Amino acid sequence: MSRAPTLPPQQVWFAINVSRAMDKNMEQDEWIKHIHTEALKGIQDGIPWNLNTLNFLMLQNTAYGPFTTKSHAIAMAPAELDEESKDLWKEEIWTTILIPNVFEEGDLEYPDWSLCAIRYVCKTCGYAQIFKGSCGKCKAEGKPYTPTIKVRDWDGELS
Ligand SMILES: [Zn+2]
């Protein structure tokens, strides 16, 4: 039995660190909409990718992609997002946007988990530990149940 070839995705995801990338003269929602519109327009007008708005953000390390799934894109944020789309560790706002896939298969990105150290960070004292659960440092100081948050340390800041 032969396997059907996998079709390339019709659309691809990008993750954007809104807090770092945003034009501070604009409202956040307005800015995100603006970037999405500009990225789509660039594609529709056939402008080369290296001149696309999203590529400029990527060159500044404020956007990441293209990913084939939303969950891969949002994994670029260093922690889970709260209800305001702020990551729990750095407290920076992230968003994902979906655009038509104009990329070669080799250009598609996948999170390289070998580069990512998972750590559990205490928001009270800043201590980072490799095991899940309450903070070991706070515990040693008589505060036994201080929670930690799961962090994806892509930049090796905690090691
Ligand atoms: Zn602590």
DSSP 1-52: -PPPPPPPPSEEEEEEEHHHH--TTS-HHHHHHHHHHHHHHHHHTT--GGGS
**How remote is the CA of residue 121 from the centroid of ligand 1, in Å?**
8
Residue 21 lies in a domain: yes
Token pair for residue 78? 């260093």
Range of the domain at 119: 114-153
What's the pLDDT score for residue 3? 66
Q: How many domains does the chain have?
A: 2
Contact 52, 130 (CB under 8 A): no
**How remote is the CA of residue 142 from the centroid of ligand 1, in Å?**
10
Whether 70 and 143 share a structural domain: no
Whether 87 and 118 share a structural domain: no
Whether 56 and 83 share a structural domain: yes
Residue 159 lies in a domain: no
List, edge to edge, every strand of the sheet that includes 128-129.
Answer: 128-129, 117-122, 148-153
Helix (H) or strand (E) holding 94: strand 94-100
Whether 141 and 87 share a structural domain: no
Whether 101 and 32 share a structural domain: yes
Residue 94 lies in a domain: yes
pLDDT averaged over 10-residue windows placed end to end, the chain, 159 residues: 73 97 92 97 96 97 97 97 97 97 95 95 96 97 97 93
Q: CB within 5 A of ion ligand 1: which residues?
A: 122, 124-125, 127, 135, 137-138, 146
What's the pLDDT score for residue 2? 59
**How remote is the CA of residue 149 from the centroid of ligand 1, in Å?**
11
Give the predicted TM-score (pTM) of the model.
Answer: 0.90
